[in-house]
């Protein structure tokens, strides 16, 4: 693998996350009629914006907290708090996104939880809620024994990456489902690739690239925080800074 410095990579990834949020917001504002809080289709538009912002971008940022070079120095507890806070913020935004879509469905007599996208999204949210509660209990509460933390840590890391992957899959499938429903009956059909289809497909690819880059950063050994008992635990390699 290329010996990439972490901080320039992190800056690029942050920019890509901002672009993802900007794209989904522009899609909903320009082609889907904007935003509202009245149970209309405009209220539904909060769903994709909040899900991409929370479950992809914020969650990805939470996953990379321990890769930041400053996190390699000093006590780990403040970084645990930051990691948990970002994850909690992602969860809150995602819950608000669920409220938006269920309100829209209920006000328009649309059945809930019938598509693969909805099953995948709800499973992701349930897994995420279990992950956050288990992580909070094991790593932030003072009475969790060291052996339990050591036993649970690889499980937490595995499911963290899995949840991000599921979040990306949920968002991409949701974009595709929305295009199939919207681009018909008075609009240019999806198969003819109108500008909205091209724009939303591009959004899906950007989300996918963001998720892949986060997973790649998590898997890179040289960017992992050394263990507390490692002789390098308080040394930050110069290559990480760029």
pLDDT at residue number 72: 87
Task: Give percent of the chain above pLDDT 70.
Answer: 91
What is the reported pTM? 0.91
Gap between the terminal Cα atoms of the chain: 16
Please report where in the chains the tokens 């840590």 appear, as a residue: 153
Would the pLDDT of 234 be above 50?
Answer: no
DSSP state of 57: I
Round to whole Å and give the CA distance between 71 and 129: 25
d(CA 134, CA 122): 18
- Quick one: pLDDT at residue 229? 40
Rg from Cα positions in the chain: 20
Write out pLDDT tens, residues 20-77.
Answer: 999 999 999 999 999 999 989 999 999 999 999 999 999 999 999 999 988 888 888 9
Residue 187: pLDDT over 90: no
Distances (CA, A) of 81 to 8, 85, 205: 24, 6, 32
Question: Residue range 162-186: average pLDDT?
Answer: 94
Distance between CA 153 and CA 137 in Å, rounded? 12
Retrieve residue 28's tokens. Answer: 């909903």
Cα(171)–Cα(188) distance, integer angstroms: 23
CA 145 to CA 36: how far, in whole Å? 47
Map out the domains of the chain with their CATH numbers. 6-223 (1.20.120.1770)
State the CB neighbour count (10 A cutoff) for residue 180: 12
Rounded Cα distance, 101 and 106, in Å:
9
- Token pair listed for 10: 């992190």
pLDDT tens profile 82-103: 999 999 999 999 999 999 999 9
Question: Alpha-carbon distance 107 to 188, whole Å?
Answer: 27
Residue 82 to residue 66: CA distance in whole angstroms: 10
């Amino acid at each position: 693998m290329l010996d990439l410095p972490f901080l320039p990579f992190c800056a690029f990834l942050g920019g890509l996350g901002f672009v993802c949020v900007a794209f989904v917001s522009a899609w909903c504002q320009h082609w889907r009629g904007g935003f509202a809080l009245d149970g209309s289709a405009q209220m539904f538009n909060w769903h994709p914006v909040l899900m991409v912002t929370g479950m992809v971008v914020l969650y990805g940022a939470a996953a990379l907290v321990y890769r930041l070079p400053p996190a390699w120095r000093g006590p780990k507890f403040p970084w645990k708090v930051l990691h948990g806070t970002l994850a909690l913020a992602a969860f809150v935004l995602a819950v608000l996104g669920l409220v938006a879509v269920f309100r829209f469905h209920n006000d328009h007599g649309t059945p809930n939880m019938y598509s693969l996208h909805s099953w995948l999204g709800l499973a992701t949210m349930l897994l995420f809620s279990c992950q956050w509660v288990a992580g909070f209990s094991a790593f932030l509460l003072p009475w969790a024994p060291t052996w339990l933390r050591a036993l649970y840590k690889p499980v937490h890391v595995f499911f963290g990456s899995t949840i991000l992957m599921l979040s990306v899959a949920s968002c991409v499938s949701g974009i595709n489902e929305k295009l199939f429903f919207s681009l018909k009956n008075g609009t240019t059909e999806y198969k003819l690739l109108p500008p909205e289809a091209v724009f939303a497909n591009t959004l899906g690819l950007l989300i996918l690239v963001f998720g892949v880059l986060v997973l790649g950063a998590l898997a890179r050994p040289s960017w992992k925080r050394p263990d507390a008992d490692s002789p390098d635990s308080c040394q930050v390699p110069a290559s990480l800074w760029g």
